[in-house]
Chain A
Amino acid sequence: MSEQSGQQQPTQQPTRRPGELTARELGRFVWRQLTSMRTALVLLLLLALAAVPGSVIPQESVDSFGARQWKDQHESLTPIYEALGLFDVYGSVWFAAVYVLLMVSLVGCILPRTKHYWTAARAVPPAAPRHLTRLPDHAAYDVGASPEQVLEVARAELRRRRYRLRPAPTEGAAVEREAGTVAAERGYLREAGNLLFHLSVIVVLVGFAMGGLLGYKGGVIVVQGAGFANNLTQYDDFVPGSFFSADELEPFSFDVDSFDVEWLEEGPGQGMARAFEAGLTYRTAPGEPEQTYDLRVNHPLRIGDSEVFLVGHGYAPIVTVRGGDGEVAYSGPTVFLPQDASFFSFGVVKALAAEPEAIGLEGFFYPFFASIDGDPFNVMGRDGNPVLSTNVYVGDLGLEDGESQSVYILDKEDATQLENDEGRPLRLDLAVGDTARLPDGLGSVTFEGVEPWVRVQVSQTPGKQIALGGVVLALIGLCGSLFIRPRRVWLRVVPADEGEGSRVELAALDRSGGGDTAAVVDDLRLAIVEALDHPQEDTP
């Protein structure tokens, strides 16, 4: 240190008021606070609290339909909720802030602890305290054997219980001080388990983040008999991770050859569907041989890194629409979306090529139609009596503006709704095979039949093995940190006051604070007495 700086110090010192910190000290203070046990605890509770809103408010990513519905119902709250990110809690900044702080706190905690453990794990047990009988759990008793015998037996017993023993000092004052004592410790792995657990939490987070950033999931509805090729244009909805690129899509393709459902016709689960099974024919890449797979719930198909899941099913009525000139303007299965568990479904048919005017149908599909006092009613999901019931719109169906449209919504704004003779909206109720003529020579609608469709989810979840491995390691670490008991045991043996026996003092300490050290002392006391009474020749 130079003279100059030494002289400057007194002049600088008074400018600092008490309690004032330099940036460095402030940083250290904040770091200390952040990495303290108490802060970690508060952050844990904050994390639990922060997760709550996402379970009560419908989330965009979990239930987008519910979220949209909620927003429609709460117009004044929606902007506030949106600003707070309450429709995407688990992707919001404040949720991220909590777990990032928790991770920082965790790293800040385990780094110094690892360093400390590195030395502590190899340390020898500390020497016996002077007054063993002052420890909360201790025993003092006399035995007939000589101190040397007792010490030998005690060491053997402790070693058998996998305690680490303090080696006897060979020189200095310690030789005398530690004569006649045994110091032992076990449970060194407890802290290792603890560290492993905390480290694994980070591994899990990395694996979880990989899935979110690099993976993707996409959903598509495929009608029986139709196919799917894995490229972006084929998906109905697609959620890519932030770093996903389209060329990660593996070039597989599949056809849905069949779809079978078993409907329960009677009993308590009546109307329930089960044993869904979609027969697929797939190729892992163009030109590869065809393979078949029965896709079922709980049995996804794995192709390379991608997985194909069966996540839904429904009906697609086959409708043929002819224009006034008798030309077929539209024909084919049209996906209707189930509205409830009975597969009562809603959908639209758009026959834009119809002449003289484009024809749009909007209405309901009843898989098993029944009429109760004139009211339409759907009995169950099995297609026992399929009926298509739609309203008819003609004219401008909104496709001229060139805006992209959902195939599930009919733009009726500029269209004309057809009416029947009584001036009420025209409703076509068609059973399979029925044809209805539209008024004014606009054309006809034929309900040809029904095809089932399946909804399939295709996803890649990189990092899932990492996340799983992380949790398994965390569990192993957790069990270590909960069930390995760090214990210290000390023994002091002195010659008895009279006669040739010895006086034994025995004490144990549980460093985790949760152990039952009284039992340890008892057990060891009995074991030593037992071993002294029945010396085994073969033990070294």
Chain B
Amino acid sequence: MSQTAWEALSNQAVAAAGVVYFLALLSHLAEWALLRSVPVAGQRGQATAREAVTVGAGAPPAPEPEVDDRTTERVETAGRLGFLLTCLAAAVHLVALVARGMAAEPHRVPWGNMYEFTLSGTFVVAALYLLLRRRFGLAWMAPIVVAVVLSLLMVAVIWLYQPVGPLREALNSYWLVIHVVSAIIATGAFTLGGIASALFLLKERAERKGRTGGYLGRVPSPAALDRVSYRMHAFGFPVWTFAVLITGPIWAHEAWASYWSWDPKEVWAFITWVVYAAYLHARATAGWKGRNAALLALLGMATLWFNFIGINYFSTSSMHSYADAPAVSPLHPGS
């Protein structure tokens, strides 16, 4: 296959993955819409909530027996369909990534620019969700994860798209694999953790106000959500440390002659690191547990994604801007 054919395949696969994610989103929405007619099972107790997490398949919990079987069946079908469609979409998504790498000459890893990084990052979010779904009982997360992945994919296609090109010289290093893969994995984990934290805040508020119905009525208890969020962050944080404070500086030292040069991207990676450190710290600090810690997790996710997309619009001098700056920047010797 020629380069252009691979590139066309990649673009088509992205479009197809988008459509399938959308169908998956529809089925999950249908699942949750159908559940509206099913009363929420008594889910307040600690034991039930824990069951939802440890037992796995988890939420939505089986409706109570008096609900007619037909609705139950339809809910289950919609949920299963949504899950299968998400699996299919992730598989097509993977095809898009592989084709993207094959389209470059010489073949390379498919994360050489913002578009490709977003493509990879969203794939990791979807894949992590699918992998951890059983283990952590993330079924309740399905509509949100699929919606987030779909939105980010659209952002990538509409605003960030770049045709396949060769790597910039500074990127031509094996550190591209190590540094960027770890950054992508951490981004995926933090994103899932952030979703759990957001749900924690919503659920907690709903419980305080005494609202127990609807979607929020069926997500796990705040304690369980908090635990899922913590696990995601506890996994993501060391990986992020590895990405931005170990491999990043090593590579920066090789390519840019300075292991830490306060480049805007570096600054924001550091800010993200500090905020997540504060989150982990807050979970052990009296008066900051729970709500405030969850807010910090959301702040962390905001800095994470701002660093990825937003900072490029505020600073043009960043050596990380792989949009149109020359690889070896024209320099301005002091006059």
**Closest B residue by C-beta to A235:** B333
In the complex, are the beta carbons of A459 and B264 less than 8 A apart? no
B237 within 8 A of A: yes
Residues of A in contact (CB 8 Å), total: 79
Q: Chain A residues with Cβ under 8 A from B230's Cβ?
A: 514
**In the complex, A307→B281 CA distance in Å?**
39
A325 within 8 A of B: no
Chain A residues with CB below 8 A from B267, complex form: 51-52, 54-55
B309 at the interface (CB under 8 A from A): no
A45 touches B271 (CB 8 A): no
Residues of B within 8 A of A41 (CB): 278, 281-282, 285, 288
Q: Which residues of A contact B46 (CB under 8 A)?
A: 136
Q: Check A483 for interface membership: any CB of B closer than 8 A.
A: yes
Q: Is A101 an interface residue (CB 8 A)?
A: no
A427, CB-defined interface residue at 8 Å: no
Contact yes or no, A276 B328, CB < 8 A: yes
Q: Is the Cβ of B242 less than 8 Å from the Cβ of A268?
A: no
Interface pair A482/B237, CB less than 8 Å apart = yes
Interface size on B (CB < 8 Å)?
74
Contacts of B287 in A (CB 8 A): 38
Is residue A474 contacting chain B, with contact meaning CB distance below 8 A?
yes
Find chain B residues with CB under 8 A from A428 CB: none
Q: Which residues of B contact A237 (CB under 8 A)?
A: 333-334
Residues of A within 8 A of B286 (CB): 37-38
Contacts of A56 in B (CB 8 A): 264, 314-315
Q: Please name all residues of chain B whose beta carbon is closer than 8 Å to the beta carbon of A274 when the two chains form the complex.
A: 166-169, 172, 327
The yes or no answer to B5 lying at the interface (CB within 8 A) is no
User: Smallest distance from the beta carbon of A126 to chain B beta carbons, Å?
Assistant: 21
Given A55-B315, A341-B324, answer yes or no on A299-B262 (Cβ-Cβ < 8 Å). Answer: no
8 Å CB contacts to A: which residues of B287-335? 287-288, 303, 311, 314-315, 317, 324-335
Q: CB of A384 within 8 A of chain B?
A: no
- Near B by CB (< 8 A), chain A positions 507-522 give 513-514, 516, 518-519
Q: B238 contacts A307, CB within 8 Å?
A: no
Within 8 A of B (CB), among A32-66: 37-38, 40-41, 44-45, 47-48, 51-52, 54-56, 58-59, 61-66
**Main SS of the interface on chain A?**
mixed
Q: A41-B281, A479-B238 are contacts. A236–B333 as well, Cβ < 8 Å?
A: yes
**CB closest chain-A residue, reference B264:** A55
* Residue of A37, A299, A343 with highest tally of chain B CB at under 10 A: A37
Q: Confirm or deny: B255 has a beta carbon within 8 angstroms of a beta carbon on chain A.
A: yes
Contact present for B241 and A474 (CB under 8 Å): yes
* Residues of chain B lying within 8 A (CB to CB) of residue A38: 285-288
Give Cα distance in the complex from A518 to B256, angstroms: 51
Check B255 against A313 for contact (C-beta < 8 Å): no
Flag whether A303 is at the interface (Cβ < 8 A): no
Whether the Cβ atoms of B170 and A219 lie closer than 8 Å is no
Complex interface residues of chain B between 181 and 211 (CB less than 8 A to chain A): none
Give A468 to B274 CA distance when docked, in angstroms.
18
| Stretch binding the partner chain, chosen from B20-28, B59-67, B246-254 | B246-254
Cα A516 to Cα B271 in complex, Å, equals 31
Contacts known (A464-B259, A514-B230); A37 close to B281, Cβ less than 8 A: yes
Residue of B nearest to A381 (CB): B326
With A45-B275, A267-B165, A468-B249 as given contacts, are A459 and B170 in contact (CB-CB < 8 Å)? Answer: no
Whether the pair A478, B238 counts as a contact (CB closer than 8 A) is yes
Any B CB within 8 A of the CB of A524: no
Asked if A208 is at the interface of the complex by the 8 Å CB criterion, the answer is yes
Tell me if A125 is interfacial: C-beta within 8 Å of chain B.
no
Within 8 A of B (CB), among A258-311: 264, 267-269, 272-276, 297-300, 307, 309-311
Binding site for A on B (CB under 8 A): 46, 50, 54, 162-170, 172-173, 175, 227, 230-231, 234, 237-238, 241-242, 245-246, 249-251, 253-264, 267-268, 270-271, 274-275, 277-278, 280-288, 303, 311, 314-315, 317, 324-335
